[in-house]
Amino acid sequence: MLILYFSHSGNTRNVAEQIHGRVGGDMIELKTVVPYPRDYNAVVEQAQREQQNDARPQIAAEIPNIEKYHTIFIGFPNWWGTIPMPFFTLLEKYDVGSRTVIPFCTHEGSRFGRSEQDLKRLCPRARLLEGFEVRGSRAGGAQGNVDAWLRKTGLLTG
Ligand SMILES: Cc1cc2nc3c(=O)[nH]c(=O)nc-3n(C[C@H](O)[C@H](O)[C@H](O)COP(=O)(O)O)c2cc1C
């Protein structure tokens, strides 16, 4: 399995680590060549601009042998209603084919927003499983809900 995630302020990373602690596999953090500003207003503005321009920010992550994974978790913060644009760059660069794709998302109220539709467009042949969403502020205490979701999807037994 591969857990692929993007996180600007750490919430999604926290959930990624909780999933990894249960299912193992490889974990890769998606980063951009030019890091996003730490300042909240600056990153909010930049992310909005990128979405309006349908930008494809250059990514720094490499995924050696994506073909070796049968299941790929894709974790992200909801940015302006959907997946941050670097994931568009990545999913157009790497073809996940007909693999199982499982989204997880942190947010401040919009839950998955449009991200599941966008994922379907970006991974048209993938088998998309039911995802997991949690408010960013509750990410630290999400392990119980993460476990329940993993059990429901059949990825965690016992
Ligand atoms: C650029 C930007 C845009 C955001 N847009 C939304 C949004 O549309 N809906 C929402 O519920 N939360 C939104 N948020 C809040 C984040 O999704 C939330 O804080 C998330 O947990 C951050 O995850 P991270 O710590 O992994 O970066 C936005 C945050 C940022 C920085």
- With the most atoms of ligand 1 within 8 angstroms of its CB, the residue from 78, 114, 133, 134 to mutate is 78
Tell me, in angstroms, the distance from the centre of ligand 1 to residue 142's CA. 17
Is residue 61 over pLDDT 90? no
In a domain, 117, yes or no: yes
In a domain, 105, yes or no: yes
Q: Is 9 in the pocket of ligand 1 (CB under 6 A)?
A: yes
In a domain, 157, yes or no: no
Query: How many domains are contained in the chain?
Result: 1
Please give, one letter per residue, the 3-state secondary structure of the chain: CEEEECCCCCHHHHHHHHHHHHHCCEEEECCECCCCCCCHHHHHHHHHHHHHCCCCCCECCCCCCHHHCCEEEEEEECECCECCHHHHHHHHHCCCCCCEEEEEEEECCCCCCCHHHHHHHHCCCCEECCCEEEEHHHHHHCHHHHHHHHHHCCCCCC
Tell me, in angstroms, the distance from the centre of ligand 1 to residue 67's CA. 30
Query: Do the beta carbons of residue 74 and residue 87 sit within 8 Å?
Result: yes
Tell me, in angstroms, the distance from the centre of ligand 1 to residue 84's CA. 9
Q: Find the mean pLDDT for residues 63-87.
A: 96
According to the model, what pLDDT value does residue 14 have? 98
According to the model, what pLDDT value does residue 136 have? 98
According to the model, what pLDDT value does residue 157 have? 87
Q: Is 140 in the pocket of ligand 1 (CB under 6 A)?
A: no
pLDDT tens-digit series, residues 29-55: 999 999 999 999 999 999 999 999 999
Predicted TM-score (pTM) of this structure: 0.98
Domain that holds residue 82: 2-150
CATH number at residue 65: 3.40.50.360
